């Protein structure tokens, strides 16, 4: 029994997930029922053309339909807007995340603001073509967040509904909503707990577009940190330009035997401008908080 945590609204954003949606709803319902708290399962049919919404409705989920595909983040936002309970359970509807992991995540809710299912258990079936970019983005995110993030964009997590609503205006409508939510919580010093979970091969075809989605995710990481911790971006750029100015000064004297004063001044002033912009952005950020 987990009466202290209140109820749970499970949000399943779904786009053409007919092969697995009904079984997922049944499995999730069994796990939530065993917790002894109020719960609901909301499926947001994001413009599916394969009958996903009808199958979800037949499995006794609440179903809301988008007339056209609006994106993962937009579907999540719609589901949260419809939710009635204190906690939001986000879960991809492709059958890759195990409903059996829900009780493990719930066990941390009395102390955490968000609990994330980390796909770090041995044997997790993360597609090979995603692994190099996932590793690289993870390294970038760890630097920008200032801590190690076990799973940057896991599609299975429990988050307090009021905190999600506070962040809504900053969350994108696309694939990267979970990444943004993660970085926002760390930037605001929220308590985020990670729980290792299994991860299975998805049913049906992936909606992930490797080149486009990875590029958008990289830009998102930079934008998010510029918004919440701008010195992480501006200080290294300032230092790099200052180093370039010093190298120009030394090499122009030793190799060219003449001082490249224009190049040196341009690099030095650029370094100072980035430093000033960084401190100004940081000041604005602190005043905003």
pLDDT at 191: 93
**198 vs 119: CA distance, rounded Å:** 6
**Phi, psi angles (nearest 5°) of residue 16:** 55, 60
- The residues, ordered by sequence, that sit 6+ positions from 126 with a Cβ below 8 Å of its Cβ are 119, 134, 199
95 and 165 assigned to the same domain: yes
Domain boundary among 183, 211, 228: 228
**285 vs 86: CA distance, rounded Å:** 29
Q: Which residue in 26, 226, 194 sits closest to 115, CA to CA?
A: 194
Number of other residues whose CB lies within 10 A of the CB of residue 56: 29
218 and 256 assigned to the same domain: no
Q: If residue 64 lies in a helix (H) or strand (E), which one and from where to where?
A: strand 62-66
- The residues, ordered by sequence, that sit 6+ positions from 247 with a Cβ below 8 Å of its Cβ are none
212 and 238 assigned to the same domain: no
- Domain span at 280: 231-288
Convert 112-178 into a string of H (helix), E (strand) and C (coil).
Answer: CCEEEEECCCCCCCCCHHHHHHHHHHHHHHHHHHCCCCCCCCCCEEEEEHHHHHHHHHHCCCCCCHH
Percent of the chain with pLDDT strictly greater than 70: 81
Q: Which residue in 168, 169, 171 sits closest to 153, CA to CA?
A: 171
CB 151 within 8 A of CB 183: no
200 and 58 assigned to the same domain: yes
CB 95 within 8 A of CB 30: no
239 and 189 assigned to the same domain: no
61 and 198 assigned to the same domain: yes
**18 vs 57: CA distance, rounded Å:** 12
**pLDDT by position in tens, the chain (length 289):** 455 678 999 999 999 999 999 999 999 999 999 999 999 999 999 999 999 999 999 999 999 999 999 999 999 999 999 999 999 999 999 989 999 999 999 999 989 999 999 998 876 655 565 556 666 676 777 776 677 888 888 999 999 999 999 999 888 888 789 988 998 888 788 999 999 999 887 665 555 566 666 676 677 667 766 766 788 888 889 999 999 988 888 887 777 666 667 888 888 899 999 899 888 887 776 665 5
114 and 243 assigned to the same domain: no
pLDDT at 1: 47
Report the predicted TM-score, pTM, of the whole model to 2 decimal places: 0.77
* CATH number, domain with residue 66: 3.90.550.10
**119 vs 256: CA distance, rounded Å:** 55
13 and 104 assigned to the same domain: yes
Q: CA 165, 169, 172: angle at the middle one, nearest 5? A: 105
Q: Are strands 156-160 and 87-91 parallel, antiparallel or unpaired?
A: antiparallel
111 and 186 assigned to the same domain: yes
**201 vs 210: CA distance, rounded Å:** 17
Q: CA 87, 181, 15: angle at the middle one, nearest 5? A: 80
46 and 11 assigned to the same domain: yes
Number of structural domains (the chain) is 2
**190 vs 278: CA distance, rounded Å:** 24
């Amino acid at each position: 029994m987990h009466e202290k945590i209140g109820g749970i609204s499970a949000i399943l954003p779904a786009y053409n997930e007919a092969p697995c949606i009904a079984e997922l709803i049944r499995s999730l319902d069994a796990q939530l029922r065993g917790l002894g708290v109020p719960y609901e399962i909301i499926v947001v049919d994001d413009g599916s053309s394969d009958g996903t919404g009808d199958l979800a409705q037949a499995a006794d989920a609440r179903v809301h339909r988008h007339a056209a595909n609006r994106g993962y983040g937009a579907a999540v936002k719609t589901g949260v807007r419809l939710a009635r309970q204190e906690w939001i359970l986000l879960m991809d509807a492709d059958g890759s995340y195990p409903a059996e992991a829900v009780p493990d995540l719930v066990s941390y809710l009395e102390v955490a603001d968000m609990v994330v299912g980390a796909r770090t258990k041995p044997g997790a079936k993360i597609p090979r073509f995603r692994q190099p970019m996932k590793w690289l983005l993870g390294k970038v995110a760890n630097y920008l967040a200032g801590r190690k993030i076990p799973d940057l964009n896991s599609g299975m997590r429990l988050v307090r509904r009021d905190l999600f609503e506070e962040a809504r205006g900053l969350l994108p409508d696309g694939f990267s909503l979970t990444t943004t939510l993660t970085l926002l919580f760390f930037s605001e010093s929220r308590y985020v707990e990670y729980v290792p979970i299994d991860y299975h091969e998805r049913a049906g075809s992936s909606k992930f577009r490797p080149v486009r989605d990875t590029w958008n995710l990289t830009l998102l990481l930079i934008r998010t940190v510029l918004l919440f911790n701008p010195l992480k971006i501006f200080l290294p750029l300032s230092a790099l330009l200052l180093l370039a100015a010093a190298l120009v000064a030394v090499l122009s004297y030793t190799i060219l035997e003449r001082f490249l004063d224009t190049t040196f001044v341009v690099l030095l002033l650029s370094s100072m401008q980035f430093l000033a912009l960084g401190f100004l952005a940081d000041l604005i950020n602190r005043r905003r908080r």
